[in-house]
Structure 1
Amino acid sequence: MYVLPLILLSLDGVYSESHSLRHYYIGVSAPGSGLPEFTRVGYVDDQQTELYSSDTGRTVPVAPWIKENVAPEYWEDESKSDNEDEALFRHEVNIGINWFNHSEGFHFLQVKYGCDLRDDGSTNGYHQFRYDGRDFMYLDVPTATYIPTMAEAQITTDRWNSPDVRMGELEKITLENTCIETLKTYLKYGREYLERKVRPGVRVTGRESGDITTLYCLVYGFQPRAVDVKWVKNRIDDIPTDETTGVLPNPDGTYQIRVTAEVIPKDGDSYSCYVDHSSLEEPLLVRWEPKQHSPLAVIIGAVAIVLVFPSVVAVLIYRRKNHPYTAASNVGMREDEGHPGT
């Protein structure tokens, strides 16, 4: 069941301070794969707003601020539209299988459709297609022309660009008008939630293996999604990232990311995790401090003292009780020895 999120991430766009309305359509060739044959997921910025699945045959609101402001009749109309798209996608997936001569196996068709509204008031639209994760064709919005990125897409783009169809012109009008107006309406409903800023938490750790130390920086609980995280040496020198999880969603609507780097520490060098986020007045630099002492050795030493000390005390008491002289007689003996002849 983890295939669907991975497919969605493969269509992910560039995030900025502008706002976006995006729809992801996914059709698969194998009904027994554990995935719905057809899915549509709607997003405003990085927040899911709605979901349609062929398993249910209905479109439902997801974001609380969408549920509160959009009438039930709207979702009835959306369900009918998605029913029609489901039938279309089944047909298109089969066409793709024939074009690529795929007789069996798991294959999928993806479509990303949406628009951006930038802070300066300018807009941007996109209608992009992928087959099995590879770019297939896309709409060049300024010219209202579909461009093939695979030879197998040429037949479709020729038909959609033909004078009697002019699909690109119709989609250009929809993207530049209907899509933007819908985005503005959604922003009015959810602006308070969408534009909230939550400061990130940062946790740094390290693991030594021979001369190499692996540094981990976990940045968590931040909103919005856009963030810059990297390791730096001596507060200024960037360290190449060895691995990153990418930005991942949390159940509460915030995000997290972990960035890893491998270094060979030298005397005098310091390593810090650099974090820049819109919720911060200035970037954070969280320094990694190497461990000076092994906590395990300290614990073992403390336990040994606790265990040994009662035994030593017991031995001393035993010897004191069984010695022929008391403390007082010992003193008296030394005094007598100091005065011979008495």
Structure 2
Amino acid sequence: MYRPNLMVFVLYFSLECICQSQSAIYSLNYIYTALSKTVELPGIHEFTAMGLMNNRSIDYYDSVAKKKIPKQDWMREKLPADYWEKGTQSRKSKEQWFKVNVEILMKRMMHNSTDVHILQWKHGCEIDQQPDGTLKFMKGIDQYSYDGDDFLAFDDATMQWVAPVVQALPTKRKWDGVQILNQYTKGYLEKECVDWLSKFMEYEEKEFSSADSPPKVYAFAKKAQIAGHVRLTCMATGFYPKDVVMHIKKNGVPLTKHDGVLSTGVLPNDDDTYQIRMSVQIPEADKETYECYVNHDALKEPIVEKWDGKCCDCGSVVGGVIAAVIVIIGVLILVVLIVLHRRGKIVIPGLRTT
């Protein structure tokens, strides 16, 4: 397995930004995925490369279109045409590198060409934005996987490649034998990557600083699997940025996982905003006060949405049964009246007898 020219790696990587509560952690990664052969599935290509920022796609390339394209307006506006032209050439070069090395790994693993095999590469960096705005390097990532299993990873601290499987040892020995390339990899992860990440953060901040979106908050309950209980759910949706605080409160006191609270975590919506749900199971007859508490940067003050004590679907089955019983009783009464009429016991106007 040979190594590609590392100089083409400098400009092209992906950005994934994770903003956690009470922290400003950002990460930057490119993810390249190559299949050993084409599969007849829509949207699945023999080679893809994508950049991610704040869980958003910022650029994309595949082996069909063969063109690196921006996926965010600010990427299109801020980066010049030659950035995308050079990026396209770099992606084409990597596509060929992956094609060769998938075949090398298949032989090394003693895999035949009947099945589809996958080689993936991810590299980038993670930083912590300090209160004064400076960026602190946290860690670098440069790792390969084969068929979903770890194959080779760069240890930034020791400047050595780590081979978790014996088949990766030849590549480790070859790459570790060129220390200048390992020094370059360390420098890229700790400096080049951070510089580009800082620039992308600046571009994104200008784009979205005036586009913060506040959450919409809902509190509702549905019938639980356990009889006599309901599952109370708090949902916040449509907010940006990602960082949010949510609690389900009982009589003003936040409930925790020890009280049975479940959370979906923050999930992306289709419109680049986010959503989160928390739920807890409570007795249907519970008369305590429950409310959803949500705080977000786009809010001037937290939202507190009180549950109205109603269950969305608890009465639906009972109501249906009652309606069915009423219909049946009505039909029985009508049959009895007709029988009595025909026997001459009663007279129903307009109904003839034989």
Give yes or no for TM over 0.5.
Answer: yes
Equivalent position amino acid for 1:66 in 2: M
Is the CA contact 2:17–2:55 (under 8 Å) kept in the aligned structure 1?
no
Change (3 A) 1:216 1:97: farther
* Partner of residue 237, structure 1: 255
1:153 matched to 2:168? The reply is yes
2:147 to 116, 132, 156: 132
**Higher RCO (CA 8 Å, separation ≥ 6 residues):** 2
Measured in 2, the distance between the counterparts of 1:276 and 1:263 equals 24
Counterparts of residues 186-335 of structure 1 (less than 5 Å)? 186-195=200-209, 196-209=211-224, 210-229=227-246, 231-234=248-251, 235-238=253-256, 239-242=259-262, 244=264, 246-251=266-271, 253-265=272-284, 267-280=286-299, 284-291=303-310
Is the CA contact 1:230–1:241 (under 8 Å) kept in the aligned structure 2?
no
* Partner of residue 137, structure 2: 123
* Partner of residue 336, structure 2: none
Structure with the bigger percentage of helix: 1
Measured in 2, the distance between the counterparts of 1:232 and 1:150 equals 49
Superposition deviation, residue 50 in structure 1: 1.2
Change (3 A) 1:280 1:96: farther
RMSD between aligned alpha carbons?
A: 3.3
Equivalent position amino acid for 2:64 in 1: D
Measured in 1, the distance between the counterparts of 2:299 and 2:149 equals 37
Measured in 2, the distance between the counterparts of 1:128 and 1:152 equals 15
Measured in 2, the distance between the counterparts of 1:170 and 1:222 equals 40
Equivalent position amino acid for 2:118 in 1: F
- Structure with higher Rg: it is 1
Change (3 A) 1:95 1:203: farther
Equivalent position amino acid for 1:262 in 2: Q
Is the CA contact 2:287–2:309 (under 8 Å) kept in the aligned structure 1?
no
Is the CA contact 1:243–1:261 (under 8 Å) kept in the aligned structure 2?
no
1:48 to 57, 71, 78: 57
Is the CA contact 2:16–2:54 (under 8 Å) kept in the aligned structure 1?
no
Measured in 1, the distance between the counterparts of 2:38 and 2:176 equals 32
Is the CA contact 2:47–2:95 (under 8 Å) kept in the aligned structure 1?
yes
* Partner of residue 32, structure 1: 39
Is the CA contact 2:17–2:25 (under 8 Å) kept in the aligned structure 1?
no
Equivalent position amino acid for 1:187 in 2: M
SS of match in other structure, 2:173: helix
Is the CA contact 1:214–1:262 (under 8 Å) kept in the aligned structure 2?
yes
SS of match in other structure, 2:195: helix
Superposition deviation, residue 87 in structure 1: 1.2
Measured in 2, the distance between the counterparts of 1:23 and 1:258 equals 30
Is the CA contact 1:111–1:128 (under 8 Å) kept in the aligned structure 2?
yes
Is the CA contact 1:241–1:260 (under 8 Å) kept in the aligned structure 2?
yes
User: Structure 2: where are the runs of 5+ without partners?
Assistant: 1-14, 327-354
Measured in 1, the distance between the counterparts of 2:295 and 2:277 equals 14
Superposition deviation, residue 166 in structure 1: 4.9
| Identity across the alignment (%) | 26
1:166-191 CA distance string (max 9 Å, x none) = 54322111222222222233233332
Is the CA contact 1:217–1:258 (under 8 Å) kept in the aligned structure 2?
yes
Is the CA contact 1:49–1:62 (under 8 Å) kept in the aligned structure 2?
yes
Is the CA contact 2:219–2:305 (under 8 Å) kept in the aligned structure 1?
yes
